[in-house]
Amino acid sequence: MFKSTAFLALLSLVPTLVSAQQPLYAQCGGIGWSGGTTCVSGATCQKLNDYYSQCLPGSATTPTTTPTTTPTTTPTTSVPTGTTTPAAGNPYTGYTIYLTPYYADEVKAAAALISDATQKAKALKVANIPTFTWFDVIAKTSTLGTYLADASAKGKASGQKYLVQIVVYDLPDRDCAALASNGEFSIANDGLNKYYGYIDQLVAQIKKYPDVRVVAVIEPDSLANLVTNLNVAKCSGAQTAYKTGTIYALKQLNSVGVYMYLDAGHAGWLGWPANLTPAAQLFAQLYRDAGSPPFVRGLATNVANYNALSASSPDPVTQGNSNYDEIHYINALAPALSSGGFPAHFIVDQGRSGVQNIRSAWGDWCNVKGAGFGMRPTLNTGSSLIDAIVWIKPGGECDGTSNTSSPRYDAHCGLSDAAPNAPEAGTWFQSYFETLVKNANPAL
């Protein structure tokens, strides 16, 4: 499957000269890293971004090669003439959600480190709960083909229809209002063209597996930042690139029948009454500019956040906002979307929303202490506006480092309500995972 398999096999024969081998989930490379670069047996050093390589379970499943060709694609101005037409209604109905082996492997390896038998058994259950797979660097895109092939084979073997959940997350100058999740592409360094290449790579693989349905969350935080953070220079500077890149993603993914939900922040962000109308207008404008792609199904809310779908009472930190949970936010946003011609359907992340009233401020987003896994993914949502409750953030993967010397340190990750000793964003945070398991609500 991977062109690099032979190369990796060869690498493993090279004698290890570096002194100590790094333990599972430890850092093993990155800019400024001078420690060990090899991992203990059973783990492989994998590059997650320029700043961080990590020892992950198993042999290398993430190709370490990067594309050698610079993508030269420019956006098409016409709507793609794909032959696919979306089925009316909820894209999840009638489909089995594919369990991504990457997360399942992370969870199984994490469970193996838990000594308490009860907690270990609970942790292992998480491996069977579907989460989204984040394509946050171009180097990971080739793994999508592997997952799609696997889902296709499972579908053929079982007679079930499979659905793969992905997060599209690689806009240039990403995470413009924070530091922890800065991406690999910069606008100054031809990042928009590189982003087109990233989208093209996803599309090329999806095209090969028309029997597998793909649901995508499009670019967490990006459009929400354009609604509220244009006072931040990096956000205003990224405005055109974010819009152009998003329109390209919507058109191209539509052409291969990917059901899309644009990220819409959460109740404590775009849910403030003053932000609802500007947000709805931005979503509707981009949708029209992309040619009203029929596979754009709606919006994803609460991605990687901690808000309840329906809080029993407002968390004190939400004071002043009548939309104090996701259902209030969604009910308030839907009419504004509909009047702008945007499809008002939603999916809601509840992966880490099991415990409420744990934040000192509503805007705190980084590894919030005391969080627990939340409602299990379900189509039984209690609202005709909500297609599915989903787990979008893979619980246990870190939001951002608490190391104040790291170039990607964001002050939110050093707050008193943020868990200490946090590794870099996207890498495994064992103690945080163990707390999510222990505090799960409903219990695992």
Ligand X SMILES: *[C@@H]1O[C@H](CO)[C@@H](O)[C@H](O)[C@H]1NC(C)=O
Q: Is 289 annotated as a binding residue?
A: no
How far apart, in Å, are the Cα atoms of 278 and each of 227, 247, 312, 408?
7, 18, 29, 30
CB 31 within 8 A of CB 2: no
User: Could you please report the per-residue DSSP string of 207-251?
Assistant: HT-TTSEEEEEE-TTHHHHHHH-TTSHHHHHHHHHHHHHHHHHHH
- Give the SS3 label for residue 101: helix
- Closest CB 53 distance from ligand X, rounded Å: 13
Q: Residue 73 or residue 421: which is nearer to ligand X going by CB?
A: 421
Strands 52-57 and 43-49: antiparallel
Strands 346-349 and 386-390: parallel
- Closest CB 30 distance from ligand X, rounded Å: 8
- Closest CB 405 distance from ligand X, rounded Å: 4
> Among the options 150, 170, 175, 364, which is catalytic?
175
Q: Is 136 annotated as a binding residue?
A: yes
> Among the options 150, 170, 173, 221, which is catalytic?
221
Q: Residue 367 or residue 406: which is nearer to ligand X going by CB?
A: 406
- Closest CB 399 distance from ligand X, rounded Å: 16
263 labelled catalytic = no
- Closest CB 25 distance from ligand X, rounded Å: 13
105 labelled catalytic = no
Q: Residue 254 or residue 406: which is nearer to ligand X going by CB?
A: 406
Which residues are paired to 213 by β-bridges?
163
Q: Residue 170 or residue 424: which is nearer to ligand X going by CB?
A: 424
CB 209 within 8 A of CB 82: no
Tell me the residue nearest to ligand X as measured from the CB: 403
- Closest CB 35 distance from ligand X, rounded Å: 7
How far apart, in Å, are the Cα atoms of 354 and each of 198, 283, 387?
34, 29, 20
- Closest CB 39 distance from ligand X, rounded Å: 17
Q: Is 269 annotated as a binding residue?
A: yes
Q: Is 391 annotated as a binding residue?
A: no
190 labelled catalytic = no
Q: Is 266 annotated as a binding residue?
A: yes
Residue 273 burial (10 A CB sphere; 0-12, 13-18, 19+): exposed
Q: Residue 19 or residue 384: which is nearer to ligand X going by CB?
A: 19
Measured CA to CA, the distance from residue 309 to residue 4 in angstroms comes to: 44
Q: Which helix (H) or strand (E) holds 166?
A: strand 162-168
Q: What is the DSSP letter of 316?
A: G
Q: Is 211 annotated as a binding residue?
A: no
- Among 432, 299, 301, residue whose Cα is nearest residue 355: 432
Tokens of 12: 């493993």
> Among the options 263, 325, 387, 399, which is catalytic?
399
Q: Residue 292 or residue 403: which is nearer to ligand X going by CB?
A: 403
Measured CA to CA, the distance from residue 21 to residue 43 in angstroms comes to: 10
Measured CA to CA, the distance from residue 38 to residue 28 in angstroms comes to: 6
Q: Residue 51 or residue 324: which is nearer to ligand X going by CB?
A: 51
Residues that bind ligand X (CB under 6 A): 32, 403, 405-406
Q: Is 272 annotated as a binding residue?
A: no
CB 302 within 8 A of CB 326: yes
Q: Tell me the catalytic residues.
A: 175, 221, 399
List residues forming the annotated binding site for substrate: 134, 136, 266, 269, 305, 365, 393, 397
Name the binding residues: 134, 136, 266, 269, 305, 365, 393, 397
